């Protein structure tokens, strides 16, 4: 290789090589230090949450009885709200995911997923506003309508399916046809209720667990949907196609192949939904009335743990009995949601390992 001996010699000069290596190593060390320091900060910040809550509980001298009773009422409120919300979010979310994964036209699915992600991006305070300002006046006079719709809508769908089910060819687009029908059914139901003039079921408070459940259910719906859909898409297509080849209808393929394979994923979706509902604050704060009432009646108001934290903690003196009981509530919330998430994650991990072996 014809190389100018002068430069060649310089390039190979051991001093220069060593100097360059030193610069490289120093840069490397600085970057490594920065990364470690940043990570340490992240770790410290994240671990600070449980540690701080535990440290706050250290001056523990037992809580007075009424503090325990209050915590019990709050926990009951949170559970009642979460139960109502889960009853909305899980059936709706899982059914939507099943439709999207198994029946849906590909082009409709390309719209359905972003639409639900949009719902996820809507701040929950907005859902709380809609619940308290628009839904509450409707629900106050329409509890009976809501009950009737819960019974009538599936019945209507079944009747339609038996009447026209065989004839509709492209039922991948069915939701769009059903959309105006459902809206019309809801509008007709409210109109009948308004015409009758009397209120069949009067809730004891316009802000009640049913209202919270409707709004909170909408908030948890996208999460349940996306987790359930992910699980369903993990099932290899060959399995359902094999079922079709053996003469199964889509419903039979769903119940005999898809559900047994991805059922645990749907369970994980439900668990994550519960965890989300337990900790959500703004919706319960705005739509529950914040009245500490225990019991199982879904038509009375409630006060949830998260709402109590948001309302009471800023004005509470540190280290008092109230403060400690609130820290205890926060810790319980943290542990419960972390456990539920962990459990759901473990279930999903197992599912992924079982189904992810062969590429879907």
Partner 1 sequence: MISRRVDAAGTWLLAGSAALSVAAILGLLGMLAIAGIAPFWPTPISELHLRDGRVLLGEVVAADDAAIALRTSETDRVGAAYRRVLKADILSRTQPADAVVAVLADGRRLFGRGEAALPTQAEAPVEVLGLERPNAAGLLARSLGFARALGRFVATAPDAANLSGGVLPALIGTVTLVLLMSIVAMPLGIAAAVYLHQRRGWGARCVRAAVNMLAGVPSIVYGVLGLGLFVHGLGAGIDRWFYAERLPVPTFGSGGLLWAALTLALLTLPVVVVSIEEGLARIPASLREGSLALGATRDETLWYLILPAARPALLTGLVLAIARAAGAVAPLMLVGVVKLAPTLPLDGTFPYLHPSRQFMHLGFEVYDAALASADAIRGVPRAYACAALLVAVVVALNLSAILLRNRLRDRYRALES
Q: Give CA–CA dist 141/351, Å, rounded.
A: 45
* Long-range residue pairs from 292-295, CB within 8 A, at least 24 positions apart, any chain: 292/70, 292/73, 292/74, 292/77, 293/73, 293/77, 294/72, 294/73, 294/76, 294/77, 295/76
Take residue 343 and report the two structure tokens written for it: 């459990």
Binding residues for partner 1 restricted to 89-128, rule: CB under 8 A:
91-93, 95-96, 98-100, 103-104, 112, 115-116, 118-119, 121-128
Give the three-class secondary structure for 289. strand
Element (H, E) at 84: helix 65-98
The size of the interface with partner 1 (CB under 8 A), counted in residues, is 102
Closest among 52, 35, 77 to 294, alpha carbons compared: 77
- Residue 11 engages partner 1 in binding (rule: CB under 8 A): no
Comparison of 147 and 161: residue with beta carbon closer to partner 1? 161
Binding residues for partner 1 restricted to 72-91, rule: CB under 8 A:
91
Comparison of 117 and 238: residue with beta carbon closer to partner 1? 117
Comparison of 182 and 199: residue with beta carbon closer to partner 1? 182
Take residue 328 and report the two structure tokens written for it: 């205890």
Binding residues for partner 1 restricted to 195-234, rule: CB under 8 A:
218, 221, 225
Q: Give CA–CA dist 278/78, Å, rounded.
A: 6
Among the listed residues 20, 251, 350, 356, the single contact to partner 1 using CB under 8 A: 251
Write out 300-321 in H/E/C secondary structure: CCECCHHHHHHHHHHHCCCCCH
Binding residues for partner 1 restricted to 273-292, rule: CB under 8 A:
275-276, 278-282, 285-286
Contact code string over 45-64 relative to partner 1, x by CB under 8 A: xxxxx--xx--x--------
- Residue 184 engages partner 1 in binding (rule: CB under 8 A): no
- Residue 176 engages partner 1 in binding (rule: CB under 8 A): yes
Among the listed residues 10, 19, 41, 242, the single contact to partner 1 using CB under 8 A: 41
Binding residues for partner 1 restricted to 289-328, rule: CB under 8 A:
306, 309-310, 313-314, 318, 326-327
Comparison of 56 and 206: residue with beta carbon closer to partner 1? 56
């Amino acid at each position: 290789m014809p190389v100018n001996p002068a430069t060649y010699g310089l390039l190979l000069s051991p001093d220069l090589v060593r100097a360059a290596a030193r610069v490289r190593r120093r840069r490397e060390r600085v970057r490594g230090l920065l990364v470690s320091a940043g990570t340490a900060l992240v770790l410290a910040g994240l671990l600070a949450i449980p540690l701080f809550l535990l440290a706050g509980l250290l001056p523990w001298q037992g809580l007075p009885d009424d503090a325990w009773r209050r915590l019990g009422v709050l926990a009951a409120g949170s559970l009642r709200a979460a139960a109502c919300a889960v009853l909305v979010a899980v059936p709706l979310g899982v059914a939507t995911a099943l439709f999207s994964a198994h029946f849906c036209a590909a082009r409709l699915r390309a719209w359905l997923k972003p639409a639900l992600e949009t719902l996820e991006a809507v701040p929950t305070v907005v859902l709380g506003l809609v619940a308290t300002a628009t839904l509450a006046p409707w629900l106050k006079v329409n509890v009976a309508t809501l009950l009737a719709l819960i019974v009538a809508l599936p019945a209507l769908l079944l009747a339609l399916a038996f009447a026209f089910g065989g004839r509709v060819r492209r039922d991948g687009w069915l939701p769009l046809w059903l959309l105006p029908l459902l809206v019309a059914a809801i509008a007709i139901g409210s109109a009948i209720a308004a015409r009758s003039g009397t209120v069949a079921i009067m809730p004891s408070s316009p802000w009640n667990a049913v209202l919270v459940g409707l709004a909170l259910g909408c908030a948890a719906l996208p999460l349940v949907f996306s987790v359930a859909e992910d699980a369903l898409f993990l099932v290899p297509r060959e399995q359902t196609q094999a079922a079709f080849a053996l003469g199964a209808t889509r419903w039979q393929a769903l119940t005999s192949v898809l559900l047994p394979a991805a059922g645990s994923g749907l369970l994980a979706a439900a668990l994550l939904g519960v965890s989300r509902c337990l900790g959500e604050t703004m919706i319960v704060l705005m739509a529950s009335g914040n009245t500490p009432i225990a019991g199982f009646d879904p038509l009375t108001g409630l006060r949830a743990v998260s709402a109590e934290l948001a309302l009471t903690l800023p004005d509470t003196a540190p280290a008092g009995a109230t403060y400690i009981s609130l820290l205890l509530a926060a810790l319980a919330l943290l542990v419960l949601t972390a456990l539920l998430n962990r459990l759901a994650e473990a279930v999903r991990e197992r599912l992924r390992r079982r189904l992810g072996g062969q590429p879907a």
